[in-house]
Chain A
Amino acid sequence: MAIEVIFDMKSLGKFGRFGGVFVPETLIPALEELEAAFTKLKDDKKFKFELNDLLTNYAGRQTPLTFCGNLSKKLGFKIYLKREDLLHSGAHKINNALGQALLARHIGKNRLIAETGAGQHGVAVATAAARLGMKADVYMGTTDIERQKLNVLRMKLLGANVVPVESGSKTLKDAINEALRDWTANVEDTHYLLGSVLGPHPFPTMIRHFQSVIGEEARKQIIELGGRLPSMIVACVGGGSNAIGIFSSFIEDKEVQLVGVEAGGKGIKTKEHAARFADSKNGRVGVIHGTKTYVLQDKYGQIQNTSSIAAGLDYCAVGPEHSLLRDVKRVVYTYATDSEAFDAFKLLSKEEGIIPALESAHAVAHLIKLSGKLKKDDVVIVNISGRGDKDLEQIEGMI
């Protein structure tokens, strides 16, 4: 199935009825400039060489595809992990951070701003800024600062300025609000390095492009190692950049089932979750942070606060391309609760010696539910989008 992505400012980066450019007028010229630069540079030889050099020799690509013997035996089907957790700075976020930082430098914007939830994107931006000699200000909700202290420390060490956000739920949503406000005031010399496939055009398309390396590698690797395409790919979905990254190379392969796992928090019936698709009452099409997509909201359109054990999934909306992939039924979306994710976190650590990020543990949790439902020869790839070191302080006392 071909999912057509219309791409230019005139058509506003629509994914079916989703996406678009819903921003105050002040930001439009910057988005036009960004779109023009991205369109030009993404196929530019020198830019591609520079980015590839950074990804390979600095960030540590390509990442392995690891067969999990113990877990496969336990669950009854073949499990491979795409190891984005092994990347420099600890998660897939660095793919996009290096790409956009390089792009920003090309258009002469040397100050980067970013939002962060779990802190992984903030760390990736701080890392890219340090490496490329740029300045970084990272907005982070105070709730997240509290639960991700290690990443705050890392950002500071890397030379970034962490700006605490006290408004609203004091998490990712509010950090994006503040970053957008900063960008509106400083748009002439500042690039907003958005961390997921969210926001106004061209961000969802551009970030998909920078994350598609995950899927390109995984496709080659599974054919080499397993001799065929996988039966299924599972990824966690906050904004959805790691999922889009790995899905992107398999969307046209109908025989490959794609599964996105949202944060079920304390359960869908409580309001304490971040499952935009699973909650059919409050998860409805709306507009937030510049894009039209599924959003958790009340009947009037006031945005609902979310909750998840994983700060990186704790967000009210999902990337617009996911909304399209869901509506056309190309991807199946499900959820894992906090406790299911935590069990999976412990399981993968013990069985395979790999501590996943709590975000990625949501994808692993779905694997456990598949036990008994798949055949022995079925091959499933799980995207381990990040490593769990950052979460150790948070889970201390829970084990």
Chain B
Amino acid sequence: MKTYEEVFSELKRKKEGALVAFVVIGDPDYKTSLEIAKKIADSGADILELGIPFSDPIADGKTIQAADVRSLESGMNTDRAFDFVKEFREYTDIPIGFLTYYNLVYQRGIEKFYSDSRKAGVNSVLIADLSIEESADVIKASNKNKVDTVFMVSQLSSDERIKRIASLSNGFIYLVSRLGVTGTRDDLSSSTFSSIKRVRKFTSKPLCIGFGISTLSHVKDVLKAGADGAIVGSAIVDLIGKNTKNKVKMIESIQDYIKNLKDATKIRKK
């Protein structure tokens, strides 16, 4: 299993950005979801972020909410999410990040969640509703089990907070491209690019941009602006949601899309 450090430095050597793909575990069901994850890895994604579905995902827009519903209705739960990762880990060595909400981690027991993550081969955990203020127990479990904790930083975060978040984040830092929840958008705002530059000033850790990244030019633009990776979620999940009745088409369309996105990261970064 590769570490984030290895992946980012290898990409740097190749002058490429990282393509970080996101899907919800168990969307639309365990078996199809595993096929999708494997296809994403095969098609060139550098990192896979896997959502553990939650009943009340307040940081997510309609697309990922719908994926959470599909997954939960198919019987997904935290135990099975760990089974899923174990099975997927046998197939690939790319970094795997969990993305979820605090209550699911808390109910399993923070320490147990992290030690299970280590055993399953998870590289990092990102908890969407965990502020750095509430993170002491999580950081402790994260350090003890050597599973990275990724925090989000927002364009509204003060310089002081950016520094604190950057120092607490391991693996990479997740910059939220805009105000609001996850979901595709036509255009990126100019504030996205200025916040990439601002966060960059305070940290040399890998910086990945997510929320609203869906087109090839979005990917190119955020990498050119200084990001190390682009995170694409809702646009992939959309391909699942649109093709629930045609799994062949679902998987083929995801494969094509990932290949194109990966090509877009090969921009000969400085």
In the complex, per-residue mask of A174-203: 1 if CB is within 8 Å of any chain B CB, else 0: 100100110011111000000000000000
| Chain A residues within 8 Å of B154, by CB | 24-26, 28-29
Partner of B77, one of A23, A26, A286, A300: A300
Q: Top 5 closest A-B pairs, CB basis?
A: A185-B180, A301-B107, A26-B154, A301-B103, A302-B55
| Chain B residues within 8 Å of A29, by CB | 154, 156-158
Enumerate 14 A-B pairs (CB-CB under 8 Å) in ascending A order: A9-B133, A25-B152, A25-B154, A26-B180, A28-B133, A29-B158, A173-B56, A174-B56, A180-B58, A287-B102, A297-B107, A301-B103, A301-B108, A302-B54
In the complex, per-residue mask of A1-43: 1 if CB is within 8 Å of any chain B CB, else 0: 0000000011010000000111111101110000000000000
A303-B133 in contact (CB<8A): no
Within 8 A of A (CB), among B110-140: 128-131, 133-134
B130-A22 in contact (CB<8A): yes
B107-A286 in contact (CB<8A): yes
Closest to A30 in B: B156
| Chain A residues within 8 Å of B103, by CB | 286-288, 295, 297, 301, 303
Closest to A11 in B: B133
Given known A-B contacts A22-B102, A295-B103, A301-B78, A12 and B133 have beta carbons under 8 A apart:
yes
B156-A187 in contact (CB<8A): yes
Cα–Cα distance between A78 and B172 once the two chains are bound (Å):
64
In the complex, per-residue mask of B138-156: 1 if CB is within 8 Å of any chain A CB, else 0: 0000000000000111101
Range for the number of chain B residues in contact with chain A = 35 or more
A25-B179 in contact (CB<8A): no
Q: Does A289 contact B (CB under 8 A)?
A: yes
A303-B180 in contact (CB<8A): no
Q: Does A329 contact B (CB under 8 A)?
A: no
What is the distance, in angstroms, from B179's C-beta to the closest C-beta of chain A? 5
Cα–Cα distance between A181 and B181 once the two chains are bound (Å):
6
Q: Does B99 contact A (CB under 8 A)?
A: no
Cα–Cα distance between A22 and B134 once the two chains are bound (Å):
7
B59-A24 in contact (CB<8A): yes
Q: Does A290 contact B (CB under 8 A)?
A: yes
B176-A25 in contact (CB<8A): yes
Closest to A9 in B: B133
Cα–Cα distance between A334 and B238 once the two chains are bound (Å):
45
| Chain B residues within 8 Å of A303, by CB | 55-56, 103
Given known A-B contacts A177-B58, A184-B59, A24 and B152 have beta carbons under 8 A apart:
yes
B residues whose Cβ falls under 8 Å from a Cβ of A: 54-59, 61, 65, 72, 77-79, 102-104, 106-108, 128-131, 133-134, 151-154, 156-158, 161, 165, 176, 179-181
| Chain A residues within 8 Å of B131, by CB | 21-23, 25, 28
What is the distance, in angstroms, from B38's C-beta to the closest C-beta of chain A? 25
In the complex, per-residue mask of A288-332: 1 if CB is within 8 Å of any chain B CB, else 0: 111000010101111100000000000000000000000000000
What is the distance, in angstroms, from B77's C-beta to the closest C-beta of chain A? 5
| Chain A residues within 8 Å of B56, by CB | 168, 173-174, 177, 288-289, 303
Q: Does A280 contact B (CB under 8 A)?
A: no
What is the distance, in angstroms, from A399's C-beta to the closest C-beta of chain B? 36
| Chain A residues within 8 Å of B133, by CB | 9-10, 12, 20-21, 28
Cα–Cα distance between A22 and B102 once the two chains are bound (Å):
8
Q: Does A167 contact B (CB under 8 A)?
A: yes
What is the distance, in angstroms, from A226's C-beta to the closest C-beta of chain B? 44
B58-A301 in contact (CB<8A): no
B129-A301 in contact (CB<8A): no
Closest to A286 in B: B103
Closest to A178 in B: B58
Cα–Cα distance between A288 and B104 once the two chains are bound (Å):
10
Cα–Cα distance between A299 and B104 once the two chains are bound (Å):
9
| Chain B residues within 8 Å of A9, by CB | 133
What is the distance, in angstroms, from A180's C-beta to the closest C-beta of chain B? 5
What is the distance, in angstroms, from A239's C-beta to the closest C-beta of chain B? 15
